[in-house]
Amino acid sequence: MAQDNVRRGILRVVLQPDDANFTVYGEDLSVSFEYLSENVEVVKPLDAPSNCDTFTGGSVALTALEKIYGKALSGSHRRLKEEAKTAFLASPTCKCQSKPRPCLFFHGMDVKEDGGIIDDYPFFGKIKQHAPCCSSFSFAILNTVDYELYNKTLLEKVCNAAMNVSTGSTDSESTVINNLIVIAHSMGNNMFASALATGKCSIGRNVDWVDLSGPMKGSMGSDFMHDICDGDDEGSPDMLSKLGNLIGQCPGSTTRRSLVYDGGKYCDEKMSARYAAALDIHDKYVTASMCGTTYNGLFSKEYAGLLAGGLIIPHHSFKNDGVVRFWSCFLLG
């Protein structure tokens, strides 16, 4: 049996086979329902509060509902009949709601090569199939291993990439970015914001900036690396730093060590000021932002590392994506 209905503008299709179980298909969510032959006992959680008031169940008469909602309600009933019907859900693809523009992608840390601008980069997956507002795709490949986050050379390369894609040239004397969509992942957002904050370039007309998990207040992962790799209070190697060296994680890359958490013990006033300046730019120009709330996510080649990061790094909050604490990414301007 198939039924379809529209509530609040959302199309739902209900398929019910002969075994009484059924599935509801929606344009954004599908749910399968299964009838259980045995009663399910719901056990009170151990950490549930013990001072809750007892709930007394009861039905509300139809006449009482009239008083609650201020309108007369019909007392009639209806019975749904089986019906063979064809229903159409919306297309899984989307259309651009604005004028398509060139798109420039920035990756995060741990990329060694300086590869310039290329037209395809596997890290971003099948993005070309899901970005209808991109009239072209450009990926800036920058060395995010050997430079501090705020390094002048790195920030100039960020602006050069933006100007190249925006104007088609880096020879122009102008440093104003126009007609561009910037999609930055992780520390790529810090680099772009810092480049703008230090005046290496600026945003002009018709520019959108999409932030994917940007650690705008740094990462506790960097602090954790300092804790492990810097040795004892006098800087001499201790057991943890020796172990970190043994497994190739210490002393840590220059870039990784520079992304210290704002407010942490490794973030001095100068670095905190850099974060504040970048945040002002971020709040002013970011069009959309996506932040992770859990390190236990989709299975991928990154899954094990992010899971370990979420479990081991002292983020001081379970809301983190394994590397970036939620409150370092989700910022209210």
For residues 198 and 155, what is the distance between their CA atoms, to the nearest angstrom? 9
**Interval 257-261 mean pLDDT:** 94
Q: Are 271 and 281 in contact (CB under 8 A)?
A: no
Q: Are 214 and 208 in contact (CB under 8 A)?
A: no
pLDDT above 50 for 2: no
For residues 32 and 120, what is the distance between their CA atoms, to the nearest angstrom? 38
Closest CA to 173 of 182, 165, 181, 163: 163
For residues 106 and 124, what is the distance between their CA atoms, to the nearest angstrom? 10
Chain mean pLDDT for the chain: 81
14-17, Cβ contacts within 8 angstroms, sequence gap of 24 or more = none
Q: What integer pLDDT is reported at residue 1 of this predicted model?
A: 44
What three-state secondary structure class fits 245?
Answer: helix
pLDDT above 60 for 3: no
Residue 52's alpha-carbon distances to 47, 55, 256, in angstroms, are 13, 9, 48
Q: What integer pLDDT is reported at residue 25 of this predicted model?
A: 67
Q: What integer pLDDT is reported at residue 13 of this predicted model?
A: 55
Q: Report the chain's C-alpha Rg in angstroms.
A: 27
Of 1-5, 68-72, 125-129, 221-225, least confident by mean pLDDT is 1-5
Which of the two residues, 132 and 320, has the higher pLDDT score? 132
Q: What integer pLDDT is reported at residue 61 of this predicted model?
A: 62
The tokens describing 241, both together, are 């730093």
- Domains, the chain, in order of start with CATH, read 9-39+61-93 (no CATH), 101-219+260-329 (3.40.50)
Q: Which of 69-78, 87-96, 131-140 has the largest mean confidence?
A: 131-140
pLDDT 10s digits, 152-177:
999 999 999 999 999 876 666 789 99
pLDDT 10s digits, 87-129:
666 666 678 988 999 999 999 999 998 999 999 999 999 999 9
For residues 239 and 229, what is the distance between their CA atoms, to the nearest angstrom? 10
Q: E strand or H helix at 328, and its extent?
A: helix 326-329
